[in-house]
């Protein structure tokens, strides 16, 4: 049998483990309960992926992050490590048969899927030899993203008492850590905890009346790879345009861009073709780029946990890095309005849930295991609802296990030609830009001229080297000339329903927890404000104290007054 280090070199091309990784992996291979509390960039996923290769059977990975699981499954299969994820695109019994007979090493699942009656009824026969609970802080009501389903993971241990569990998280206060141990019923567990100190990162909180001007000055002085975090999609586009005007290599990244655009942008950023990515806060999750030197926040994050994870996407190779939080007195009002003002109340949740079921035509008692796409803007306009509060409500319903919420951008276009093939070929003799696009459509699709067909939009864009906007413009023109019919729609949210619609029974438990949920959110926002505007106390000390880690003295590499390191 190969050693962990040999597997690391063969499959991941790393020469050495990161701090604590090897000790965690050895403990996991001994089939003992383990908690891995590693900082962002500490390599948590390797702690269950590598042992899975060296173990018989399959490792069950439970995570709340659907898109991250999808990415990991793709990455593992590319390495030749058989992996799959339970989803809504196929009957669960068929997926479990595939797992049973397919010799998979990693099985990824949301907690709701893993706790379904069908899954639990078959778990003893699936040859699962280990459970890895990722984002384990979701177990605690005091955690940053509490999800009630995580509290029920111990049902698996009840069915398989000897099954070892590995719990992993990047952020956990002492109270959250206690909840993890108690809820998972961990036995004689070992805690491997990396320090929250990131001494290679210079943390700077800058008060400024001109955030955009300050941002430009910082990037002019820091020309290596970096991330600029913005508060919303519109701001990412505005800031990227501003930086491009200043000849700063950058692009914007958010959930409104198509999957192909995001993939291409990520590749260009990782290969250094693009230096600065201007993004919403989801960017960087699951991305391991060692060369990031600068992370800048233009707005206050919603919690110290989020801020810590986001600045931790810099300096992952141990080299010097800089984190900048740009603040203004108005930010206190802004963050309270954005996050506290959008917290859902009981009446709004009931209204939003009812409208959503009507919008998606979900009858009472139905909906479970069905996926729906929708455009948030259209939904909110239809029912005259506040978009920010609606999205906040959707997020809360996801945390409570009602559905999985995936934010993405998808365009769907169905075309039906209204003229004959001969007439189309005659029009294509004119070598206009429009005719070239129609030629590309015909070349890339097998279809009947008498029926409509769905366009493979990404394929046409790649083969023709055009933008989506140009493609749509040409199709609209041919539609206006009555050469074709075009059915076009856009969605930016996918909702994968996890429970049947039973209004009172569905909502009652989560409404009981609502007061506590909102209380925790408010406390985290106030903690973030206090951190940002405390200019005297060492920034590293404040972060470590928040997570319950003792820190003596002062860091000397932040711009707090006591560190005397103004830059």
Sign of torsion over alpha carbons 561, 564, 565, 566: positive
Q: 447-493, pLDDT tens digit by residue?
A: 777 788 888 887 888 777 777 778 888 888 888 888 888 888 777 78
For 455-502, where are the alpha helices, taking DSSP H only? 457-464, 468-480
Taking residues 339-345, what's their average pLDDT? Answer: 88
Q: Bridge partners of 86?
A: none
Q: For tokens 């519109």, what's the residue?
A: 234
Tell which wins on pLDDT, 70 or 356. Answer: 356
Element at 514 (helix H, strand E):
helix 503-533
Counting Cα atoms < 13 Å in the Cβ hemisphere of 221 gives 9
Q: 517-555, pLDDT tens digit by residue?
A: 899 999 999 999 999 999 899 999 999 999 988 877 788
Can you spell out the DSSP letters for 53-75?
Answer: HTSSSEEEEE-S-HHHHHHHHHH
Select, from the ranges 159-163, 260-264, 370-374, 560-564, the one with the highest average predicted confidence (pLDDT): 159-163
Q: For tokens 């049947």, what's the residue?
A: 500
Q: Bridge partners of 414?
A: 454, 487
Element at 46 (helix H, strand E):
helix 46-53
pLDDT category of residue 338 using cuts at 50, 70 and 90: confident
Q: How far, CA to CA in Å, does 310 sit from each of 29, 196, 454, 504, 557?
A: 31, 13, 39, 38, 18
Contact 496, 408 (CB under 8 A): no
Element at 191 (helix H, strand E):
strand 190-193
Q: For tokens 């505007």, what's the residue?
A: 533
Element at 235 (helix H, strand E):
helix 233-245
**Pair of tokens at residue 162:** 């000897």
**Pair of tokens at residue 238:** 């505005």
Q: Which pLDDT does position 564 carry in this prediction?
A: 66
Question: In the sheet where 484-497 sits, what is the strand order?
Answer: 371-374, 484-497, 403-417, 453-454
Q: 42, 31, 22: which is closest to 189 by C-alpha?
A: 31
* pLDDT of 175 higher than 50: yes
Counting Cα atoms < 13 Å in the Cβ hemisphere of 492 gives 13
Average pLDDT value for the chain: 89
Please state whether beta strands 294-297 and 34-37 pair in parallel, antiparallel, or not at all (unpaired).
unpaired
Cα 67–chain centre separation: 6
Q: For tokens 């949740």, what's the residue?
A: 349
**Pair of tokens at residue 91:** 């009957």
* pLDDT of 363 higher than 70: yes
Please state whether beta strands 321-327 and 484-497 pair in parallel, antiparallel, or not at all (unpaired).
unpaired
Contact 277, 251 (CB under 8 A): yes
Task: State in Å, rounded, how far the first CA of the chain is from the last one.
Answer: 53
Q: 127-158, pLDDT tens digit by residue?
A: 999 999 999 999 998 877 888 889 899 999 89
Q: 532, 462, 529, 550: which is closest to 206 by C-alpha?
A: 532
* pLDDT of 189 higher than 50: yes
Q: Which pLDDT does position 409 carry in this prediction?
A: 67
Question: In the sheet where 276-279 sits, what is the strand order?
Answer: 201-207, 321-327, 294-297, 226-229, 276-279, 250-253
Query: pTM of this prediction?
Result: 0.78
> Domains, the chain, ranges and CATH?
4-193 (3.40.50.300), 201-328+534-563 (3.40.50.300), 337-409+493-520 (1.10.10), 419-482 (no CATH)
Q: Is 103 left (phi over 0), alpha (psi -120 to 50) or beta?
A: left
Taking residues 320-339, what's their average pLDDT? Answer: 93
Element at 241 (helix H, strand E):
helix 233-245
Q: 158, 161, 170, 190: which is closest to 30 by C-alpha?
A: 190
Q: Which pLDDT does position 567 carry in this prediction?
A: 45
**Pair of tokens at residue 295:** 């992370």
pLDDT category of residue 329 using cuts at 50, 70 and 90: very high
């Amino acid at each position: 049998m190969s050693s962990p280090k040999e597997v690391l070199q063969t499959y991941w091309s790393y020469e050495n483990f990161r701090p604590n990784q090897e000790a965690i992996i050895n403990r996991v291979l001994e089939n003992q309960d383990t908690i891995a509390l590693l900082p962002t960039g500490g390599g948590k996923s390797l702690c269950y992926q590598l042992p899975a290769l060296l173990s018989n059977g399959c490792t069950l990975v439970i995570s709340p992050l659907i898109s991250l699981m999808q990415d990991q499954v793709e990455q593992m299969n590319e390495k030749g490590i058989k992996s799959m994820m339970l989803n809504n695109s196929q009957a669960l019994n068929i997926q479990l048969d595939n797992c049973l007979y397919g010799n998979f090493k990693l099985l990824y699942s949301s907690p709701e899927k893993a706790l379904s009656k069908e899954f639990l009824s078959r778990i003893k026969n699936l040859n699962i030899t280990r459970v890895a609970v990722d984002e384990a802080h979701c177990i605690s009501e005091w955690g940053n993203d509490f999800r009630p389903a995580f509290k029920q993971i111990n049902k698996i241990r009840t069915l398989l008492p000897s099954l070892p569990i590995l719990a992993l998280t990047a952020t956990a206060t002492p109270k959250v850590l206690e909840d993890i141990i108690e809820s998972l019923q961990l036995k004689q567990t070992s805690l491997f905890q990396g320090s929250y100190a990131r001494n290679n990162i210079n943390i700077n909180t800058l008060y400024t009346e001109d955030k955009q001007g300050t941002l430009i000055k910082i990037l002019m002085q820091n020309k290596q790879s970096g991330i600029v975090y913005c508060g919303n999609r519109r701001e990412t586009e505005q800031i990227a345009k501003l930086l491009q005007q200043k000849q700063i290599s950058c692009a914007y990244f958010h959930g409104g861009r198509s999957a192909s655009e995001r993939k291409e942008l990520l590749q260009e950023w990782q290969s250094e073709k693009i230096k600065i990515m201007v993004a919403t806060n989801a960017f960087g999750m699951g991305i391991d780029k060692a060369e990031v030197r600068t992370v800048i926040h233009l707005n206050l994050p919603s919690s110290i946990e989020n801020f810590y994870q986001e600045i931790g996407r810099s300096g992952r190779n141990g080299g010097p890095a800089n984190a900048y939080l740009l603040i203004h007195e108005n930010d206190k009002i802004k963050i309270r309005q954005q996050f506290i003002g959008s917290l859902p109340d009981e009446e709004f949740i009931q209204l939003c849930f009812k409208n959503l079921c009507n919008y998606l035509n979900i009858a009472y008692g139905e909906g479970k295991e069905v996926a729906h796409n929708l455009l948030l803007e259209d939904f909110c306009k239809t029912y005259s609802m506040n978009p920010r509060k609606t999205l906040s409500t959707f997020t809360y319903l996801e945390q409570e296990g009602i559905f999985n919420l995936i934010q993405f951008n998808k365009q769907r276009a169905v075309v039906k030609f209204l003229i004959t093939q001969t007439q189309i070929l005659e029009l294509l003799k004119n070598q206009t830009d429009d005719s070239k696009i129609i030629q590309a459509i015909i070349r890339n699709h097998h279809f009947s001229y008498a029926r409509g067909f769905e366009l493979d939009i990404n394929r046409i864009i790649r083969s023709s080297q055009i933008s989506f906007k140009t493609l749509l413009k040409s199709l609209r023109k041919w539609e206006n000339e009555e050469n074709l019919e075009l059915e076009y729609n856009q969605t930016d949210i996918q909702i994968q329903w996890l429970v049947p619609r039973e209004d009172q029974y569905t909502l009652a438990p989560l409404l009981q927890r609502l007061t506590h949920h909102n209380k925790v959110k408010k406390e985290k926002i106030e903690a973030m404000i206090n951190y940002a505007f405390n200019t005297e106390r060492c920034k590293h000390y404040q972060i470590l104290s928040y997570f319950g880690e003792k820190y003596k003295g002062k860091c000397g590499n932040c711009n707090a007054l006591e560190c005397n390191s103004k830059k």
